[in-house]
Structure 1
Amino acid sequence: MTSLTVTSPATVAGSTAAAPPVFSGRIITGLVGVLLAVLVAGLNETVIKVALADIRGGLGIGYDEGTWLVAGYAATSVAAAAFAPWCAVTFSLRRFTLAAIAVFVLLGVLCPFAPSFESLLVLRIVQGLAAGALPPMLMTVALRFLPPGVKLYGLAGYALTATFGPGIGTPLAGLWTEHVGWQWTFWQIIVPALIAMLAVGYGIPQDPVRLERLKAFNWRGLLLGFPAICMLVVGILQGNRLDWFESGLICFLLAGGLVLMVLFMVNEWSQEVPFFNLQMLGIRNLSFALITLAGVLVVLLAVILIPSSYLAQVQGYRPWQTAPVMLLMAGPQLIALPLVAALCNLRWVDCRWVLGIGLSMLALSCIGGSQITSVWIRDDFYVLQLLQIFGQPMAVLPLLMLATGSIHPTQGPFASAWFNTVKGLAAVIATGVLETLTTARQHLHSTMLVDRLGNSPLADSDSAGLAHRIHMQALVLTSSDLYLCMAGIALALILLIFWLPTRMYPPRAPT
């Protein structure tokens, strides 16, 4: 049988395994502090995206410039997740986490005061670097400090970053832009980040600083991997706006990023202390978890973006008016995730079945969403969101259990790098795919509707109103297509469960 409790070797990646500190309230405080910092970092990115129109109006910048603010932040955020675990081991987990939070909150304070677009872009790029360094710390703390009996609950906290965080972003964006001021989309991080620093400083044990690791620093890997990830992320996020391969810039970014990524992987395979342990991909459950996680995150992002976009474009909703739909899905995650963790912690429960049921609920929700019409309002999405309440945690938490239960504890930093980099890239790819599908299907449906209309007398009676109706109907049909596509992805992931993962038992059955 397989269990989350694994006897670890004495050394992994050149580091000696130390006995974990005694589990106590201080450890819980530290874990909550890291979780709060990670949630705030995720909310910062989501809220800025949702409120970007108001921010652009407040700062007097154009649409194109606004897209670079999003792309620059995302690029360094994803890239930082790949290299942060190595830095945490070298400079100590506690000090590195505190430094990342401090930089993150300081730059957030300064962003609204940026004197120019260029300076704001630099601030957001560096802030993304600090924000991206935080999620790997959460998984590292959960794997390293929590005893077997509560480890799944710690992983449930990590799962909140994929279920609760993205859903709460729209309500917060609406709150700040409608009732306070666009500046607070940047400043909302101040108080929770300071609380997180206090909790981390109090609760996370201080490791010795290991500066001797700098002598064996993988400089080649950093110089290849960091720009590779940044180029791919920017290329994907800007691709739809610049018409993909019709743009020389996009061709350069994607082709150059892929070449550098291949060279990076070749370098990592031969490194004694790599950033990514490629040999770990031979672990069946870990590989399955990474593949499935990417697909699940595409679906989770879609079920947030599709109703938000539909309500905004077809019904004219502002973010604050869309908030109840998002809150109905996000708020209950605070209860659903611990319940799913308790379920997976039962020895007789096979987490693969939990995963299959969760994916089925996501697929059913998307199939229901594909019946959308132009008369749907906010209330019509509530039933779909109810399916998401348990569907999302049941689709995410078993993946964390399958992945982390198959590795040695001292391989935690490597697993963290893999998981968080895949998570970040999957979110970026999902955004690019959804934007491209949306554009393509809108064009297709608009063309088909115009062709069917033909030479109807309606075309001459009210051409402006008719064009608007055609555009609205194309948006509705596109939303239906996207829902069906997401349902297909969820069903395809269910099929993988039957032949890829092996049974994983919890650390211990609750008594």
Structure 2
Amino acid sequence: MDIKPLFGLCGVLIAAITSEFNDQVTSIALSDVRGALGISHDAGTWIESLYVSAEIIGMATSPWLLVTFTLRRWTLLAIALCGASSVLIPFSPNIEAIYTLRLLQGLAGGMIVPLLMTTAFRVLTPDIRLYGLAVYALTATFTPALASTVAALWTDIVDWRFVFLQTIPLCSLAGVLVWYCLHQDQPKYERFRMLDWRGALLLVIGSGALSTMLYQGDRLDWFNSSLICVLALVSAVAIPLFLVNEWFHPLPFLKLQMLGRRNIAYGALGLFTFLLISQSGSTVPLRYLQEIQGYRPLQSNLITLEIAASQLLMLPAMALLLDYKRVDSRVVSMVGLGLILASCIGSSFLTVYWNRDQFYLWQLLQAVGQPMVIMPLLMMTTNSVAGPAEGPFAAALVNTSRAVAEAASAWFVALIDRWRNALHSDRIIDQAGQDRWRVLQSNGVLPQYPPPLTPAGQPRMPNSLEAFRHAVEQQAAILSTSDTFLILGGMTVFLMVVVMTLPVRTVPPRILFAKP
């Protein structure tokens, strides 16, 4: 076997990891980035929102365009766009320029990730395809977990600008490997005669409206905001029209008919649900440590670094295990989901005394369980692809659901926090009771109302009342975090039911695709 294309695959992998860093590292280091660039909190939320909106568009359209322009040329274009848009952000003159560059950065990231799966289809023979799937799985499990460590390195040790400048060496190396090691095909520009321009327009409008609504909804108080109402209406109209258009178009971006195969349907639904669980499961402990215990990224990153380091061992081990014909991939998935469920239940017992040490065991269960879910999922999905011609369509379906999962994850965590936090705050204050307030007031701890005013004209809050408010907020945050883990556990149970009912058993690629 010619090993030169394998180096090309490594180049695409490096580019995919870089694009994931552009997303995840920037999200974790956003407070430092906003402070350095002088951006307010509300304006800063658009930095994430715009990225994800463009990423969805890139993931849906990239497989179609790579066939048209050829894999090598399209990959080099995506790498160049990724590097250029990232490097310019720290030197942007205004917020509008930053928004534009983040859109281009998200588009490049969405373009790159499906290329990894398509390249693996093309380069790897059935004998080693499982290990190629392990390479793709790195971007779903390894890179997000490593992002907090990388963010801590740049913000707390080196310089915040390297959140963006890190792309220079990575994109340069990726570009060189792709340029010299991937075969150059003949472009198929005649495909533009059948360009799905109506689908592209509906995709931009619908996915942009949906992802913006999910990211900005909590900040704008959902349907009390006219903007959110408009975005909801636009997405409710545009997305169904897009799906209908894709179903009937002769050369669509998303070949929805492939979802009629049970394993591909499981790949799209399962990856969406899995990423919703895994990304939220990694975000919630970090948020607890930083908001409740006052940790910096440099202090809290070890719990996710544990997951990242474990993937380098677990993903190849899962590829080796699944290569045996007697191993049922669905059973492996169920065991992995059981470990993730145990992690969610164990983490739900957190208290105000928990710090980083208490999370190590439960995150270890996540580290072992995640590759046991993602590797069987990828094997079952890719084994249902009939040939190389269907590879780009499968990549588009799977990766579009992956991009939507990122926006849904941000919405999901914010929704739980808002809902449960408000509920627990009300209950804690009710339990304190009016009698308790009267006792404190009669003892002279609390002043008579109305309270005295500060020089700014605001009510002056006594120290005891301030301490009580802080305690209520802290306990409500802890209880809502516990509820988040339990809800993630419920979603894990849902995914277990899907695994038991939707996919069918498949054998390793080296057997399934063996030449007669």
TM-score, normalised relative to structure 1: 0.94
Counterparts of 2:500 and 2:51 in 1: how far apart (Å)?
A: 38
Shift, 1:508, TM fit: 2.5
Counterparts of 1:295 and 1:432 in 2: how far apart (Å)?
A: 14
Contact 2:205/2:234 (8 A) holds in 1 = no
Which position in structure 1 is the counterpart of 2:458? none
CA offset digits 1:438-471 (Å, max 9, x no partner)? 1111111111111101132468461111111111
Which position in structure 2 is the counterpart of 1:463? 465
Q: Pick from 235, 243, 266 the counterpart of residue 257 of structure 1.
A: 235
Which position in structure 1 is the counterpart of 2:279? 301
Contact 1:315/1:377 (8 A) holds in 2 = yes
Contact 1:94/1:201 (8 A) holds in 2 = yes
Structural mapping, 1:318-467, within 5 Å? 318-409=296-387, 410-454=389-433, 455-456=435-436, 457=439, 460=445, 462-467=464-469
Question: Which amino acid in structure 1 is aligned with residue 45 of structure 2?
Answer: T
The answer to whether structure 1 residue 497 and structure 2 residue 495 are counterparts is: no
Contact 2:7/2:181 (8 A) holds in 1 = yes
Shift, 1:421, TM fit: 0.4
Structural mapping, 1:10-25, within 5 Å? 23-25=1-3
CA offset digits 1:115-167 (Å, max 9, x no partner)? 00011111111121111100110000111221001111111111111101111
Contact 2:22/2:105 (8 A) holds in 1 = no
Shift, 1:180, TM fit: 1.6
Counterparts of 1:201 and 1:346 in 2: how far apart (Å)?
A: 36
Query: Aligned-residue CA RMSD in angstroms?
Result: 1.4
Contact 2:52/2:406 (8 A) holds in 1 = no
Which position in structure 2 is the counterpart of 1:196? 174
Counterparts of 2:502 and 2:241 in 1: how far apart (Å)?
A: 28
Counterparts of 1:477 and 1:105 in 2: how far apart (Å)?
A: 42
Question: Which amino acid in structure 1 is aligned with residue 114 of structure 2?
Answer: P
Contact 1:325/1:382 (8 A) holds in 2 = yes
Q: Which runs of 5+ in 1 are unaligned?
A: 1-22
The answer to whether structure 1 residue 116 and structure 2 residue 118 are counterparts is: no
Q: Pick from 63, 68, 74 the counterpart of residue 90 of structure 1.
A: 68
TM-score, normalised relative to structure 2: 0.93
Which position in structure 1 is the counterpart of 2:32? 54
Counterparts of 1:256 and 1:348 in 2: how far apart (Å)?
A: 49
Counterparts of 1:408 and 1:343 in 2: how far apart (Å)?
A: 24
Counterparts of 1:72 and 1:190 in 2: how far apart (Å)?
A: 22
Counterparts of 1:491 and 1:275 in 2: how far apart (Å)?
A: 32
Shift, 1:507, TM fit: 1.5
Q: Pick from 479, 482, 497 the counterpart of residue 480 of structure 1.
A: 482
Q: Evaluate the alpha carbon distance shift between residue 295 and residue 458 of structure 1 in structure 2; reply closer, same or farther with a 3 A threshold.
A: farther
CA offset digits 1:237-278 (Å, max 9, x no partner)? 111111111111111112202211111111111111111111
Structural mapping, 1:201-220, within 5 Å? 201-220=179-198
SS of the aligned residue for 2:501 comes to coil
Counterparts of 2:440 and 2:28 in 1: how far apart (Å)?
A: 37
Which position in structure 2 is the counterpart of 1:5? none
Shift, 1:509, TM fit: 5.8
Question: Which amino acid in structure 2 is aligned with residue 176 of structure 1?
Answer: W
CA offset digits 1:48-78 (Å, max 9, x no partner)? 1111111111111100110011101110011
SS of the aligned residue for 1:300 comes to helix
Question: Which amino acid in structure 2 is aligned with residue 57 of structure 1?
Answer: G
CA offset digits 1:355-404 (Å, max 9, x no partner)? 11111110010000011011001011000111112201111111111111
Counterparts of 1:101 and 1:286 in 2: how far apart (Å)?
A: 28
Which position in structure 1 is the counterpart of 2:163? 185
Which position in structure 1 is the counterpart of 2:214? 236
Counterparts of 2:190 and 2:284 in 1: how far apart (Å)?
A: 49
CA offset digits 1:73-124 (Å, max 9, x no partner)? 1100111100001110000100100111011101111111110001111111
Contact 1:325/1:378 (8 A) holds in 2 = yes
Question: Which amino acid in structure 1 is aligned with residue 471 of structure 2?
Answer: R
Structural mapping, 1:132-211, within 5 Å? 132-211=110-189
Aligned residue pairs, count:
489
Shift, 1:226, TM fit: 2.0
Shift, 1:499, TM fit: 2.0
Counterparts of 1:366 and 1:499 in 2: how far apart (Å)?
A: 23
CA offset digits 1:27-50 (Å, max 9, x no partner)? 110111111110110111111111
Shift, 1:498, TM fit: 2.2
Greater relative contact order, per chain length (Cα 8 Å cut-off, separation 6+): 1
SS of the aligned residue for 1:96 comes to helix
Which position in structure 2 is the counterpart of 1:107? 85
Counterparts of 1:177 and 1:288 in 2: how far apart (Å)?
A: 39
Question: Which amino acid in structure 2 is aligned with residue 233 of structure 1?
Answer: S
SS of the aligned residue for 1:332 comes to helix
